[in-house]
Structure 1
Amino acid sequence: MNLEQLFLDNKEKTIEGRYLTLESIEPILNRMNTDNQLSVIGKSVKGRLIYKYSIGTGKTKIYLWSQMHGNESTTTKALFDFLNLLHSGSDLAKTFLANFTFCCLPMLNPDGAYLYTRANANEIDLNRDSQDLTQPESKILRAVFEEFKPDFCYNLHDQRTIFGVADTGKPATVSFLAPSYNEEREINDSRQKAINLIAEMNAVLQGFIPGQIGRFDDSFNINCIGDTFQYLGVPTILFEAGHFPGDYHREVTRKYIFMALVSSFTKLNENVVEINRTEEYLNIPQNKVVFYDFIYKKVKINYDGNEKITNFAAQYKEELIDGKINFNAYVAKIDELEGFFGHEEFDAQGAVYDDGVNNFPKLDQKANFCLGKDHKFVNGLIKK
């Protein structure tokens, strides 16, 4: 199977970038509603519609939801790419539709998507509301779970650019987790099934992005939805779409999420007794906060009349302005950067820092400055 070509053939071209709202996806959902697959299952805090899209007639039931956090849209794009595959009429599509029933909530938090926030309109993190169920969106997710009775759950998220694969210096482009079902992080039958699927997806993705797959921390928190569903006995997999070099709009990463989805269902469809793949799973390095977007090394500063050589880092903040996401770089860390990497790094070789006001960087200021006479930086990037 040529996964690269499969992605290109099925990529949903009407959506791209990071800012994905309900208005972005409703035309696609309506276009795909060829046989009453689409239904409205409730409303958000602000009254926005929450949709369920069901397709397939197979015995194995797959429950997928995305944009539980409103500013995490990469997996939503990949989910629509996968739904396009199911509508392609290909042999693979027919096989999937005959053997699986897919129940998708492509945008659980449409208010957060509109505001480009992690939380919902009540400023509640829906992924910490799985027990109290205080929010309408949380209640909807749980109600569909109980009605659908899935065999597998796919919890689709994004993660920030700060995450790397352990201390390798490689970004965590895709990360997975088979959530724990108890405090002891034991492995029961349902968690084992999730572990085996992750091992398979990792094996496939290593052929495309070697060393760029991470494993998320498995500390147990019953308030998280993945931990709750795993506790209730349903194999649950957390997907985290992360950074690929230069891909701040996550158009490359969406491809790898699509590949992971296809690979997992291909494996499930084989319906063979799996060997225990726990060792493969545990050999996936853990995610670690080791990255900044920019690191500047060996910079000469003048602070209170004292010259010294230091390093500093800048990080993008994703700011919604006039309906568009702006990546604005701010100084995030000064001096103590041992063990950290930059997605972009610049060796100043002792050049003097000057931002027109100070001879030293200050936390939270915009990353606009000069290093020596020859290197001007605007929004973190060197101006050429």
Structure 2
Amino acid sequence: MDFTAITEVNKEQYLFGRYITNKHIEPLLEKLNADFEVSVIGKSVLEKPIYAVKVGTGSKRIYMWSQMHGNESTTTKALFDFFNFLSSDNETAIGFKKTFTFLCIPILNPDGAEAYTRINANEIDLNRDSVDLSQPESQLLRSTFEEFKPDFCFNLHDQRSIFAAGNTKNPATVSFLAPSYNEARAVNDVRQSAINVIASMNEVLQKYIPNQIGRFDDSFNLNCIGDMFQSLGVPTILFEAGHYPNDYEREVTRKMIFISYLAALISISKNDILINKTTDYFNIPQNKSIFYDFIYKNVKIILDGFEKSITFAAHYNEILLDGKVVFKATIRQTEGLEGNFGHTTYDFENQLFENQKDKMPKIDSEANFIIGINNKIVNGLLKK
């Protein structure tokens, strides 16, 4: 299968960037063809509709939900690319609809999506509410799970740009997890199925983003929805859309997530889930939080008459402004950066910070400064 061509043909052009809300998806839901059943299955804390999309007639049931965290929208964009694919006359798409029945919740947390926050309107992380079920969105996700009775669950998220694929300079552009179902992190038949599908996705993705796939930590936490559904006997896979170089809008990553959906479903439809791929899965490097968006190396400072060379780092803050997400670079670390990497790294070869004595970078200040005479940093980047 030519995955690259399929991603280009089926990309939903109406969805772009990081800010995706009900307002953005509603016109697309209205345009879905008769193969798709679109419904409002519940309401958020602030009474916003929570939509579900059902498609397919097959016996294998796939439950997918995105934007449980409102500011994690890449997998939602990829879902609508997937809907476009299922609307097409592609033979694989037609086969999927005969093999599977999909139930997809594109935005589980519409209040958080509109506010561009991880949490819901009651300031609860829905992915820590699977035991208490204190929130209407959590209750809806669970009741739909019990009614639909899925054979697989796809738990769709974004991860921050801090993650590397192991202790490497390679960003974890996509990460996966077959959640644990008990404290011992044992592998039973249920978790084994999830493991095998992840290994198959990794095999495909290595052709497109080699050495940029990570594996999430599998510490058991029953409050997390993936751990809960795994413990209830349904193979559950965590998808994490991460950073690709210079892709802060996550448009390249969205393609990799869409390819992941296709690779997973091909694996399930071919019963690759019966092949033990535990070794392949655990050979995927575990995510390490060792990246900053910017690292500034070998910067001279002079304090109290003493001169030394430092390295410091900055991260982007994602801020919702006038209906758009803007990236504001802020200084985050001024020491202890051995073993860390920057998505953008500058080496200033011992030039003086702000070209003045008794000046040094301050934590939580904006990343706007001068190094030496001519090196002007504006919002984290060296201005040319």
- Give TM class, smaller chain: over 0.9
Distance 2:38 2:368 in 1: 48
User: 2: distance between equivalents of 1:171 and 1:153?
Assistant: 26
1:266-303 CA distances to partner (integer Å, 9 max, x unpaired)? 11111356221000000000001000000000000122
Letter matched to residue 231 of structure 2: Y
> Does the Cα contact within 8 Å between 2:57 and 2:98 map onto a contact in 1?
yes
Counterpart position of 2:277: 277
Aligned positions of 1:215-230 closer than 5 A: 215-230=215-230
Letter in 1 for 2:98: A
Q: Which residue matches 1:329?
A: 329
**Alpha-carbon separation, structure 2, partners of 1:381 and 1:273:** 46
- The residue number in structure 2 matching 1:34 is 34
How far has the Cα of 1:322 moved from its partner? 1.5
By how many angstroms is 1:304 displaced?
3.2
Aligned to 2:11: 11
1:78-134 CA distance string (max 9 Å, x none) = 011011100012211110000000000000000000000000000000000001100
Identity of aligned residues (%): 60
CA distance in 2: counterparts of 1:124 and 1:173, whole angstroms: 27
Asked if 1:149 corresponds to 2:149, the answer is: yes
Q: Which residue of 2 aligns with 1:308?
A: 308
**2:282, 2:244 → 1: CA distance?**
23
1:239 and 2:239 aligned? yes
**1:381 and 2:368 aligned:** no
Shift, 1:42, TM fit: 0.6
Q: Deviation of residue 166 (structure 1)?
A: 1.2
What CA RMSD, in Å, does the superposition of the two structures yield over aligned residues? 1.2
Write the mapping of 1:1-384 to structure 2, written as runs, cut at 5 A: 1-35=1-35, 37-271=37-271, 274-354=274-354, 359-384=359-384
Distance 1:283 1:304 in 2: 50
Tell me how far 1:359 sits from its aligned partner: 1.7
The 2-side partners of 1:273 and 1:134 are apart by 34
Query: Secondary structure, in 3 states, of the residue corresponding to 1:348?
Result: strand
Q: 3-state SS of the aligned residue for 2:349?
A: coil
Paired with 1:39 and 1:274, the residues of 2 have a C-alpha distance of 34
Q: Following the alignment from structure 1 to structure 2, what is the Cα–Cα distance between the partners of residues 288 and 247?
A: 19
**1:189, distance to aligned residue in structure 2 (A):** 0.5
TM-score of the superposed pair, with normalisation by structure 1: 0.98
Cα distance in 2, alignment partners of residues 149 and 374 from structure 1: 63
Q: CA deviation at 1:367?
A: 0.4
Does the Cα contact within 8 Å between 2:176 and 2:240 map onto a contact in 1?
A: yes
Question: Please, which runs of 5 or more residues in structure 2 have no aligned partner?
Answer: none
Gaps of 5+ in 1: none
Helix, strand or coil at the partner of 2:181: coil
Which whole-Å deviations, capped at 9, do the CAs of 1:14-56 have from their partners, x for residues lacking one?
A: 0000011110001111111535600101100001000110000
Letter in 2 for 1:260: S
Moved more, 57-66 or 165-174: 165-174
One-letter identity of the residue aligned with 1:11:
K
Q: How far has the Cα of 1:357 moved from its partner?
A: 10
Shift of 1:335: 2.1
What secondary structure sits across from 1:221 in the alignment? Answer: coil
Query: Number of residue pairs matched?
Result: 384
CA contact (8 A) 1:355 1:369 kept: no
1:19 counterpart SS class: coil
Letter in 2 for 1:134: S
Matching residue's letter, 1:209? I
Return the letter of the residue paired with 2:209: I
Deviates more, 1:203-212 or 1:349-358: 349-358
| Contact 2:355/2:372 (<8 A) preserved | no
Between stretches 32-41 and 183-192, larger displacement belongs to 32-41
1:374 to 1:126, Cα distance in 2 relative to 1, 3 A: same
